[in-house]
Amino acid sequence: MRAVIQRARYGSVSVDEKIIAEIQKGLVILLGVGPEDTEAEAQAMARKAALLRIFEDDQGKMNRSILDIGGEALVVSQFTLYGDTRKGNRPSFIGAAQPDLARPLVERFADFLREQGIPTQTGEFGTEMLVKIENAGPVTILLEM
Task: List active site positions.
Answer: 78-80
What are the angstrom distances between the C-alpha of 74 and each of 20, 61, 86, 93, 98? Answer: 11, 24, 30, 23, 22
Cα distance between residue 107 and residue 125, in whole Å: 9
Cα distance between residue 69 and residue 24, in whole Å: 12
* Element of type H or E holding 4: strand 2-15
For the chain, count helices (H), then strands (E). Answer: 3, 8
